[in-house]
Structure 1
Amino acid sequence: MNIALIAHDQMKKELVNFVLAYKPIFEEHTLYGTGTTGKIIMEKVGLPVQRFQSGPLGGDQQIGAMIAQNDMDIVIFFRDPLTAQPHEPDVSALLRLCDVYKIPLATNIAAAEVLIHGLDRGDLQWRELIDKE
């Protein structure tokens, strides 16, 4: 499955630790990430990540385009709810696209835990049945 990994600056360390904890699961899938987040995951975790631009430079929109083309299966986006983001409209658009296209989305570690365990159990197999043309 294609998994997008995104984290605001204050949440990058938490996402890296999460990916480290579940590395055996993540290494079975194709990972995508916004610029800095993807780079840090590659360096700290040692997994390949196909990187886009950083979020404020269009990375969120690039992932959104994959969602709109039904080329993304899961989005894990550790948001910083206490800091204003200059690209908040792009963030909102990405979250809206996940809802429109029924893409499982986790915006914090609690939801990500549930999602990753579901992925490991095979609960997301229905994504493979969706026509990806």
Structure 2
Amino acid sequence: MKIALIAHDNKKTDLVQFATAYKNVFQKHELFATGTTGLRIMEATGLRITRLQSGPLGGDQEIGALIAKNEMDAVFFFRDPLTAQPHEPDITALLRLCDVYNIPLATNMGTAEILIHGLERGDFGWRTLVHEQKSKESK
């Protein structure tokens, strides 16, 4: 599974702690993250992560493009709802794309806990069917 990890500045420490706690689950998947968030998680956990641009510099849009191509299977986006973000339209677009393409999205620790346990149990087999269908359509 391809998983995106994103966090606003005030939530980066939370996501790093979450990734550390569930390193054994995340290491079985292909990880993508926006700039600083990816670096901090890599430094704390040793996980391999494809780092994209920082969110305000286009990282949210890069992840959105992967979602639009159905190349992302889940998104962990620890958002800070109490701080205005200069790239709010990009964030809104990313959330909308998750809804359009039925991509599981956790925007807080509570939902992330449920999502990670589903990943651990193998509840995302339906995403394999999506990838197989896409492969058939491209032939």
Moved over 2 A (4+): none
- How much has 1:45 moved relative to structure 2? 1.0
Structure-1 separation of matches of 2:46 and 2:11: 19
Aligned residue for 2:11, secondary structure, equals helix
The answer to whether the aligner puts 1:126 opposite 2:126 as a matched pair is yes
Rounded Cα–Cα distance in structure 2 between residues aligned with 1:23 and 1:44? 10
Cα distance in 1 for partners of 2:49, 2:15 equals: 14
Structure 1 position 15 matched with structure 2 position 24: no
In structure 1, distance between residues paired with 2:59 and 2:53 = 4
Q: After TM superposition, give the deviation of residue 91 of structure 1 in Å.
A: 0.2
> Offset at 1:127?
0.4
Q: What's the offset of the Cα at 1:132?
A: 3.6
Q: Which runs of 5+ in 2 are unaligned?
A: none
Deviation digits for residues 103-128 of structure 1, max 9, x if unmatched?
A: 00000000000000011111111001
Q: Is 2:62 the partner of 1:62? A: yes
Cross-structure match for 2:96: 96
- Under a length normalisation based on structure 1, what TM-score does the superposition of the two structures give? 0.98
Cα distance in 1 for partners of 2:27, 2:56 equals 27
Structure 2 length-normalised TM:
0.94
Structure 1: unaligned runs, 5 residues or longer: none
Please give the root-mean-square deviation of Cα atoms over the aligned residues, in Å. Answer: 0.6
Deviation at 1:12, TM superposition (A): 0.3
CA distance in 2, matches of 1:25, 1:84: 32
Distance 2:48 2:89 in 1: 29
Q: Which has the larger radius of gyration?
A: 2
Aligned residues: 133
